Amino acid sequence: MGRIAGGRLPAWLISVGGLLLVWAVFAWFAQSRSLPSPLQVASAIVTEVRSGEMFFHMGATLARVAAAFVVAMAIGSAIGILLGRSRKLNHFFDPWVIFFLNIPALVIIVLSYIWFGLNEAAAIGAVALNKIPNVIVTIREGAKSLEPQLAEMAKVFRFSRWQMLRHVVLPQLQPFFAAATRSGISLIWKIVLVVELLGRSNGVGFQIHLYFQLFDVATILAYTLVFVVVMLAVEYLLLQPLEKYSRRWRAKHA
């Protein structure tokens, strides 16, 4: 891990710096409102942060991402484990899963708003529903490959249902949860922006829509960049340490 500080971080900085430089050069040649320079975007960020708009809308979007993520993971995992453990149920419900897996996100969002109204529950539900089939498919794969030897051990030593779930089943599913989380968060936040654009009056999606009508590309990019940075922070400061912790037992041999 010492390499991050020693070797990889500068390379990463040079890479990002290079991207900014290319952007700056293009913007300088274009001299157009539709391609603002990095500096203009930075000042847009400062303006939005100063007015408090940035925090307000970012907070609204993050709350929706978190809510939709929790709902999708909980429901998707429960169904995934069930289908992975029961051949009959899986046989029956597999076409349903494939059906929902292939409905475009936009259709679910529009129908959800029509059927349940332009409210928060409809918005979060629509996002979760887009993600649930993905979670089911991933967790189902894990539940199919559970170790029967450990289940027998648990039976002989009379583990309770709760012990079985917590100490035998869930740890075996951990890599599959990690995969579902990783793909889940990136999918969910993109869909949340669409949901906000179509039927909410706050959030990053709403702001981008607003500044699109005002043709203010600098502010659009300001929101986009800040959001990407926040999601990167979630990845590096939350997901990766969590995953590292949950893999601690795969330690080096004594």
Partner 1 sequence: MLDVNINSMGFRSSEGAALEVLRDLHFNCAQNSFTSIVGPSGCGKTTTLRCILGLETEFDGVIKTSDASGHLHKISAVFQEPRLLPWRTVEQNVRLALKSVDDTELNTLFAELALTEHRDFYPAELSLGLARRVGLARAFAVKPSVLILDEPFVSLDDETAGRLRKLLMQVWAARSCTALMVTHNLLEAIELSDRILFFSGSPSRVVSEYEITVDRKNRNRRTIEQIREDIYASGAASPVD
CB-based contacts of 124, cutoff 8 Å, min separation 6: 64, 67, 68, 71
Q: What Cα–Cα distance (Å) separates residue 114 from each residue in 118, 130, 141, 143? A: 8, 16, 34, 36
> Site mask, partner 1, residues 2-41, x = CB under 8 A?
----------------------------------------
Q: Token digits for 167?
A: 């100490």
Q: Shortest approach of partner 1 to residue 196 CB, angstroms? A: 39
Choose between 146 and 225: whose C-beta lies nearer to partner 1. Answer: 146
- Asked whether 203 and 127 are in contact (CB, 8 A), the reply is no
In angstroms, the CA 57 to CA 201 distance is 10
1 is a site residue for partner 1 (CB under 8 A): no
Contact positions with partner 1 (CB under 8 A) in 156-185: 156-159, 163, 167-168, 171, 174
- Asked whether 188 and 69 are in contact (CB, 8 A), the reply is yes
Q: Shortest approach of partner 1 to residue 138 CB, angstroms? A: 19
Q: Which amino acid is at 99?
A: F
Output DSSP code: residue 228.
Answer: H
152 is a site residue for partner 1 (CB under 8 A): yes
- Asked whether 48 and 219 are in contact (CB, 8 A), the reply is yes
CA dihedral 170, 174, 176, 180 (to 10 degrees): 100
Choose between 147 and 235: whose C-beta lies nearer to partner 1. Answer: 147
Choose between 150 and 179: whose C-beta lies nearer to partner 1. Answer: 150
> Site mask, partner 1, residues 219-248, x = CB under 8 A?
-----------------------------x
250 is a site residue for partner 1 (CB under 8 A): yes
Choose between 123 and 169: whose C-beta lies nearer to partner 1. Answer: 169
Q: How many residues bind partner 1 (CB under 8 A)?
A: 21
Q: Shortest approach of partner 1 to residue 254 CB, angstroms? A: 4
- Nearest residue to 147 (alpha-carbon basis) of 130, 179, 171: 171
145 is a site residue for partner 1 (CB under 8 A): no
Note the residues at the interface with partner 1 (CB under 8 A). Answer: 149-150, 152-153, 155-159, 163, 167-168, 171, 174, 248-254
